[in-house]
Amino acid sequence: MGKRILTALIIGQTALYICGCVPENKNVGKTPGITDTEIIIGSSSALGGHASFLGTQTIHGSLAYVNEINEQGGIHGRKIRVITYDDQYDPPKTVTNTQRLIKYDKVFALFDYVGTPTSVKIIDIVQEAGIPALGFFTGAEALRTPYRPYMFHVRDSYYSEAEGSVAYFVDMLGLKKIAVMYQEDDFGLAVLTGVQLALERRNMETIATATYIRGTMDVEEAVQTIKKSGAEAVVMVGTYSPLAKFIKKSHDAGFTPYFHTVSFVGSEAFGKEIVETQKINPAQHDKIIVTQVVPCPFSDHLAGVREYQKLIKKYYPNDKPNFVALEGFINAKVLVKALRDAGRDLTRGKFIAALESLQNYDIGIDKGITYGALDHQGLEGIYYSKVTKQGIFRFSGHNEKKDIK
């Protein structure tokens, strides 16, 4: 029924265009994605395929908040509609989806993109279209440096996570031999570079590096290379299955260093893989660290997290609280705040201005969001988490961002 009305509307609209008598609405209509009743936002992410958990959870987190806002009457009389496309974590598909969102769906802004190789492919498109893009589920430096005037980041960068892990291993534990095992692509190299820079600041170098091919589980050779180096800690970059296997194989080879990976891994899936699939010895759990860019989603002492838990339960009763969805939820809070601040006469310029003037905007997680004219990094500082017997990551502290530039 809804679909039919929509179709009728589209046909009607097209007819009007042909007649050349489109009803002009001066304020609305000039800005893409803004109608009298709606703000249309576009998103392309991995809703299917091997990384689908990341895409769907990000979107669920965001929609939980957006739905609540819409239910309360929207923003200045408009409801937010998010158009989501599945790119299966495949960069060419991300490009096609983005072009479609900008050109055909005429969305107001881009939102909730997931992944490094996917996101870097749309940098030029965003720049050329002059479309605001907010909330990337990646910490890739390429999206941050050089300065990207239309891109706004909520979560902190991989460089920060790499710095965090090096700080943990070197400064806190006093380890000297750090190795990197990474997925041989832009994502892997991004984190690797972060680790190299962090070590360089301490006049150190990686003791060894090893790779595996994206989409494969071939980590045995990497285990051999790293083990040979005698590394005391291994920073791993990749997806949860091969990483969990890497840990298992290392243990099998009698090699038990500290392991670390970045937030992108998807902590829940990784935990499940470690506990259930690979059945890693629980005695070793303490030596598996994941850096996080959002606080613990199970915590009950942060107002923002409680709000997230409440709304997820309301709109996605089957979902369990997780890091990814919490990040999506936070993204949506920033989106809604800026849309609201920009006022009823919404334009992309005003939206960007509203974002850039956010000063320590309280999202209820003890840290505020602050942007500036030349600073599009919202949250700063990372959290450390460790695996538990249930496979869920628990918190062991957090690290404020140091000056790493």
Q: Which residues contact other proteins by CB under 8 A?
A: 184, 189, 192-193, 195-197, 200, 205-206, 209, 211, 225
The minimum distance between CB 189 and other proteins, in angstroms, equals 6
- Report yes or no: 269 and 323 within 8 Å, Cβ to Cβ: no
Rounded Cα gap, residues 83 and 232, in angstroms:
46
Structure tokens that stand for 102 in this block:
């900008």
235, 351, 227: which is closest to 290 by C-alpha? Answer: 235
The minimum distance between CB 196 and other proteins, in angstroms, equals 5
Residue 221 or 375: which CB sits closer to other proteins?
A: 221
Residue 97 or 211: which CB sits closer to other proteins?
A: 211
Rounded Cα gap, residues 371 and 368, in angstroms:
10
The minimum distance between CB 290 and other proteins, in angstroms, equals 21
Residue 127 or 193: which CB sits closer to other proteins?
A: 193
Residue 35 or 225: which CB sits closer to other proteins?
A: 225
Residue 59 or 180: which CB sits closer to other proteins?
A: 180
The minimum distance between CB 114 and other proteins, in angstroms, equals 23
Name all contacts of 311-319 with Cβ < 8 Å and 24+ positions apart. 311/64, 311/65, 311/67, 311/68, 312/60, 312/61, 312/64, 314/64, 314/68, 315/60, 315/63, 315/64, 315/67, 315/68, 316/60, 316/64, 319/57, 319/60
The minimum distance between CB 221 and other proteins, in angstroms, equals 8
The minimum distance between CB 159 and other proteins, in angstroms, equals 11
First-residue to last-residue Cα distance in the chain: 55
Residue 42 or 194: which CB sits closer to other proteins?
A: 194
The total number of residues written for the chain in this structure: 405
Question: How many angstroms from the chain centroid is the CA of residue 179?
Answer: 25
